[in-house]
Structure 1
Amino acid sequence: MEEKKFDFNTIIGFVLIGGILLFMLWQNQPTPEEKEAQKAEKAKIEKLAEDKAALEKSSSDISLEDATKEIASVNKGDSLSLASLQNRLGSFAYSGTLPSAKENTTVIENELLYITVSNKGGYITEVKLKNETIYNGSSVYLIKDGNSTMNLQFSAENRLLNSEDLYFEPTLSSNGNNSVLSMKLKTASDKYIEYRYELIPNDYMLGFSVKTQGLDNVINTSQPIYLDWKFKGYRHAKSITYENRYSRLTYEHENEGKHDKLSPTGEDAEIEKDVTWMNFRQHFFSSMLLTETPFKEVALSSIDLVLDEAIDTVYTKQYGAKMLLAPKSGGISYDMNMYYGPTDYKVFKEYDRNLDEAMPLGWGLFGWLNKYLIIPLFGFLTGFLPAGIAIIMLTVLIKLAMSPVQYKQYLSQAKLKVLKPELDEIKVKFEGNKMKIQQETMKLQNIAGASPLKGCLPAILQIPVFYALFTFFPSAFDLRQKSFLWAEDLSSFDSIAELPFNIPFYGDHVSLFPILASIAIFIYMMMTTGQTMQQQQQPGMPNMKFLMYLSPLMMLVFFNNYASGLSVYYLTSNLITIGIMLVIKKFIIDEEKILAKIQVNKKKPKKQNKFQKKMADMMEQAEQQKKNKK
């Protein structure tokens, strides 16, 4: 067996190989400069990862896929530098690194409003009216759960930005008794976009401004800058169909010269110039934006969201206003106001900015009667009377004021009644000759002073008051949630029974006040139209019997879903009218005296006016032409 010996040559070989390896490792280790380069490269990669995260919160025109590719390019040592990628991302991408860049809100409030403003987007995300409730007793929210957004859209650093995607830094302070909230979207401590809110005690109007600071070289003012307000109106009333009928986008434009509105049904859109305010009206509540500097151009839109009364719809209308802002000295500066509160004429008039034009009070004479007669009078009455009693008193005062006109109307009807025997004789005497019958009838009526036109004229004079009241009651905020007898809310229908099905135009319930008002109208029509039917029916006159049934039927069907306060007015009005007519008939007008006076007047020559003479000549000519043809 061979004896193992220690081999020095092998040991020397291993030592030489180890030395060579150590030399190679020492030779290939990075220099201090290379170590610094590696550290810098690592920092680049970490920074790009942060930029990618910030990019996810911005509306940059560079995609996340592109950012990832560019990060990979840096890792591979490509020529694209970190600085070039930062330039593409832009300054606003770094808003995410601010302390305020988190989901948080700030509250400002006074005795009337509770307002919440979000850091993200810097706009109002909640508005609660503290002193108001809806039909089921819940609080009135004009803004809640994302139904309203306010977005400033602008171009900066070769990309389109939307403020609603970026984070603002809040600062809450006070200006005397006013609460001031400054929301700033910063690129640096002295460079920012600011939304400023100022809330005054006991006021529905708050100050609102949009301004920029130090962004002259950042915001591209050669591209359009828009303030985009989107809003969906919540349902607040028991009858969403009735509420939706009076929910409408109204606005003032062309330097306070014109007031217009979009359609209350379907979809409608307009582009207007120089808009000074807009109102997203929800019947009894309004959300408004007003500006000291008119918006150069505004794209307004309205979409009706109520398709079926039977469906439990949450929203009534979807409104939109995209406002084109005009830059000043390279920046933006707009002083505005926001109004969140009741659609109340008395409140609107306090601001002296034509806000009453946002209310459906009627046009021309009708609106004038509402503004200067009916609203002040009703406001005075509700100052010391319950709303239901105030409606009755308002009706009594108006009927008393109109009683002289009604007296003349009934007097003309009484004259026609006593002339009926003579009118019947004319009809028999000239039977078959309609032209002659009409001619002799007009002659007799003229002598007696009993022209049907004189009876219609007083009724025509009452139409402006009638229509003014028709527009007043649905918009009277003082009636909201005021009860009377069985009606829980005079601004809504007074349901006494629910139906298991829905009747087209009528609804799924039965309201009592419209039924009573229909009965009163029918009795009144019987007393007036019934007398007319017994008198000489002139050729071409409408069918009085048809009208006698049509008016009560329309009242019964269409007013079933209207405000019960309006039905209370019509019921009271017709009951008073019936009472006045009975008093006039029983105690004031003596038909025998009227007949005797007519006989005396027939003996006196009565000169015709120009119109009567012209009508008589025309009828004589027509009669002569008829004879010539024969």
Structure 2
Amino acid sequence: MEEKKFDVQSLIGFILIGGILLWMLYTNSPSEEVVEPQQETQQVETPGNTDADQPDQQGEIKSPGSDSTALAEARERLGAFGYSASLPSATENTTTVSNDVLELEIDNKGGYISEARVKNFQTYDDEPVYLIKDGNASFNINFTTTDGRTLDTENLYFEPEVTKNGDNTIISMKLKVSQDEFLEYRYVLKPGEYMLDFSIRSQGLKNVLNSSRDINLNWQLKGYRHAKSISYENRYTDLIYEYGDGDDDNLGAGDLEESEDEDISYVAFKQHFFSSILLTDDPFQRGKFISENLVEDEEVDTLYTKNFIAQMPLELNGGELNYNMNWYYGPTDYKILNNYDRNLDEVVPLGWGIFGWINKYVFIPFFAFLSGFLPSYGIAIIVMTIVVRIVLSPVTYKSYLSQAKMKVLRPEINELNEKHKDNPMKKQQETMKLYSKAGASPMSGCLPALMQIPVFYALFQFFPSAFQLRNKSFLWAEDLSSYDTIAELPFTIPFYGDHVSLFPILASIAIFIYMMMTTGQSMQQAQQPGMPNMKFIMYLSPLFMLVFFNNYASGLSLYYFTSNLITIGIMLVIKYVIIDEEKIHAKIQENKKKPKKQNKFTRKMQEMMEQAEQQQKQKKK
């Protein structure tokens, strides 16, 4: 092996390289004037810092590089908006404002509300009602700059400024390019109002925002649970929006629902009894909406109900943004929402068509009147139910009178059935003649019942939506807007639940008695082919009430129990006091002797049946 020798040329090379490096370090070292501002900049917190980049107790930066390097990187990443990163407001601070009914915290980062608490209300477990808290909501504008950067406002720092204009509190959040160039969120909180004025505007950003790329507004919120039954609350938690010329639509209660429309004027994230709503004076050109159910297992998923997402594009006007809008954070109360005259009453699910009309113009004002002077909301429900049943008692009377006539005619109908048992056409024809002469009709008993359906359905929609019932107790029910509980079960019964509610049991018993009274006579008759099994229906209805309403609002079960109890009483009075079956029978026999003039419809039907009978005879020949 050859012995290694000392290489003089290598040594000279290393010395020259070292000299060059020392010369470069000397010529590139900062002057005294430059060092001072760099040392001051070390105290500024910049966006994107990790915990290692935060100052320690002596104010030192725990990072490999200097703070000036981090700021330079932020400016490189943010471009023109890197100016905001150098401002003292580029911190995780919040601004808190409040009035008599609402308390808000607005975060410097993103410029959006980080907490929204509705005052004067508590959840089912006596906690404050928060619509926004702990990062469950976000509000972001995604845009592209003229130098090709794609940025999100939720990651950028706004500079807050709070001023007063009379009793109004104004919060200005500015995302700055310079002192005179910025994107601004402006909030105006008024005394005693759940509704805030809100505007988005830009100044001096004509050459910063890329007008050829979409500017998208994205609003997202996960609804907090506020009620005892999260599944029942979730049934009435929905995304509603107004589009076009005042039309409205909703996504429903499915596991995952999506929808798109044009000319969006408001978007409401409704959480049964509390809502977050964004309204705009100038409709968004289009909108995409998503609702995702977050409750798969009520025992496990106990924090959130649904995840709502709304995506709308923003349009530039003269190269700038300029939108006047409103935020609403408050109760889903028909009276409060309707007073704003912005079509927000559609957020409350009162039913469509005639059902909603009955609720808006009859039941809501009437219930408000009763609850204004009665000592309890439960008593108000009972009184309103009594009044409704009394108003509908003439319809009940006509229905029961028809049943009584049919009962009196039953022997003659049975005789006709036996006489023409081999000729169904003749049997039907003779039966119609008998009904016509006696002045009775099976339909006369059905029509009064059909007339009551709009009232019953309207009330079915009214009670679950009545904000006044929330957290109001009556008898053993702690909350008329939720289910009552007389016993907790150590297990869960499918469709029924893990508890026993008393009001649905009472309502089921009342329905069973009512069905016995109304269908008992029909059950005694031979079951007609093609007719529904009345005995099955008699048992099914109470069972349905017992199971289905065990998790429903106790106020609704109280209404059905009271309503059926009153109906039973009215029917007993009609049967034993008002109606005399012997007189009815005598009147029917008298009517049968009189010549009965047939109307055109009855005469036409009879002619058609006679023609059909003649055709059958000819076929037999």
TM-score over 0.5 for the pair: yes
Residue aligned with 2:486, SS: strand
Cα 1:395–1:88, aligned 2, differ >3 Å: closer, same or farther? closer
Query: Given the alignment, which residue of 315, 319, 325 partners 1:326?
Result: 315
| Equivalent in the alignment of 2:347 | 358
How much has 1:419 moved relative to structure 2? 1.2
Query: Given the alignment, which residue of 520, 523, 547 partners 2:537?
Result: 547
The CA distance in 2 between the partners of 1:302 and 1:119, in whole Å, is 28
Is 1:313 paired with 2:302?
Answer: yes
Is 1:384 paired with 2:373?
Answer: yes
Is 1:400 paired with 2:390?
Answer: yes
Deviation string, structure 1 residues 494-530 (Cα, Å, up to 9, x no partner): 1111111111111111111111101100100111111
Cα 1:190–1:36, aligned 2, differ >3 Å: closer, same or farther? farther
Query: Given the alignment, which residue of 549, 573, 582 partners 1:592?
Result: 582
Structure-to-structure mapping, 1:228-377, within 5 angstroms: 228-256=218-246, 258-377=247-366
How much has 1:548 moved relative to structure 2? 1.1
Amino acid paired to 1:557? V
Deviation string, structure 1 residues 57-76 (Cα, Å, up to 9, x no partner): 69xxxxxxxxxxxx9xxx9x
Deviation string, structure 1 residues 72-97 (Cα, Å, up to 9, x no partner): xxx9xxxxxx9999677512123121
Residue aligned with 1:145, SS: coil
| Equivalent in the alignment of 1:138 | 127
| Equivalent in the alignment of 1:570 | 560
Cα 1:188–1:57, aligned 2, differ >3 Å: closer, same or farther? farther
The CA distance in 1 between the partners of 2:390 and 2:396, in whole Å, is 10
The CA distance in 2 between the partners of 1:192 and 1:271, in whole Å, is 31
| Equivalent in the alignment of 1:502 | 492
The CA distance in 2 between the partners of 1:124 and 1:400, in whole Å, is 51
Query: Given the alignment, which residue of 450, 456, 461 partners 1:466?
Result: 456
Amino acid paired to 1:625? Q
| Equivalent in the alignment of 1:428 | 418
Deviation string, structure 1 residues 132-163 (Cα, Å, up to 9, x no partner): 11111111111000000111111123201111
Cα 1:40–1:621, aligned 2, differ >3 Å: closer, same or farther? farther
Is 1:93 paired with 2:67?
Answer: no
| Equivalent in the alignment of 1:15 | none
Cα 1:112–1:283, aligned 2, differ >3 Å: closer, same or farther? same
| Equivalent in the alignment of 1:614 | 604
The CA distance in 2 between the partners of 1:85 and 1:102, in whole Å, is 14
How much has 1:434 moved relative to structure 2? 2.8
Residue aligned with 1:458, SS: helix
Cα 1:627–1:47, aligned 2, differ >3 Å: closer, same or farther? farther
Cα 1:172–1:428, aligned 2, differ >3 Å: closer, same or farther? same
- TM-score normalised by length of structure 2: 0.89
Amino acid paired to 1:107? T
The CA distance in 2 between the partners of 1:527 and 1:148, in whole Å, is 55
Is 1:110 paired with 2:114?
Answer: no
Amino acid paired to 1:210? I
Residue aligned with 1:495, SS: coil
The CA distance in 2 between the partners of 1:607 and 1:478, in whole Å, is 55
How much is the aligned-residue C-alpha RMSD, in angstroms?
Answer: 2.9
Instruction: Answer whether contact 2:47 2:74 (CA < 8 A) is retained.
Output: no
How much has 1:184 moved relative to structure 2? 0.9
Instruction: Answer whether contact 1:221 1:331 (CA < 8 A) is retained.
Output: no
Is 1:628 paired with 2:583?
Answer: no
Deviation string, structure 1 residues 404-433 (Cα, Å, up to 9, x no partner): 111111111111111122122212222333
Instruction: Answer whether contact 1:186 1:193 (CA < 8 A) is retained.
Output: yes
How much has 1:56 moved relative to structure 2? 3.5
Instruction: Name the count of aligned residue pairs.
Output: 581
Query: Given the alignment, which residue of 176, 184, 187 partners 2:174?
Result: 184
Cα 1:47–1:272, aligned 2, differ >3 Å: closer, same or farther? farther
Instruction: Answer whether contact 2:265 2:280 (CA < 8 A) is retained.
Output: yes
Amino acid paired to 1:195? Y
Q: Which moved more, 1:219-228 or 1:87-96?
A: 87-96
Residue aligned with 1:39, SS: coil
| Equivalent in the alignment of 1:39 | 30
Instruction: Answer whether contact 1:280 1:288 (CA < 8 A) is retained.
Output: yes
Amino acid paired to 2:120? N
How much has 1:546 moved relative to structure 2? 1.6
How much has 1:44 moved relative to structure 2? 10
Amino acid paired to 1:454? S
Instruction: Answer whether contact 2:464 2:556 (CA < 8 A) is retained.
Output: yes
Is 1:208 paired with 2:198?
Answer: yes
The CA distance in 1 between the partners of 2:452 and 2:481, in whole Å, is 24
| Equivalent in the alignment of 2:60 | none
Structure-to-structure mapping, 1:510-529, within 5 angstroms: 510-529=500-519
Amino acid paired to 1:478? Q
Residue aligned with 1:193, SS: strand
Instruction: Answer whether contact 1:155 1:223 (CA < 8 A) is retained.
Output: yes
Please list every run of 5 or more consecutive structure 1 residues that lacks an aligned counterpart in the other structure: 1-27, 59-70, 76-81
The CA distance in 1 between the partners of 2:453 and 2:158, in whole Å, is 56
Amino acid paired to 1:39? P
Is 1:446 paired with 2:452?
Answer: no
Residue aligned with 1:559, SS: helix
Instruction: Answer whether contact 2:74 2:82 (CA < 8 A) is retained.
Output: no
Cα 1:121–1:85, aligned 2, differ >3 Å: closer, same or farther? closer
The CA distance in 2 between the partners of 1:85 and 1:114, in whole Å, is 33
Structure-to-structure mapping, 1:111-126, within 5 angstroms: 111-126=100-115
Q: Which moved more, 1:102-111 or 1:610-619?
A: 610-619
How much has 1:624 moved relative to structure 2? 2.9
| Equivalent in the alignment of 1:78 | none
The CA distance in 2 between the partners of 1:614 and 1:311, in whole Å, is 65
| Equivalent in the alignment of 2:10 | none
Amino acid paired to 1:548? M
Rg larger in 1 or in 2?
Answer: 1
Amino acid paired to 2:82? A
| Equivalent in the alignment of 1:486 | 476
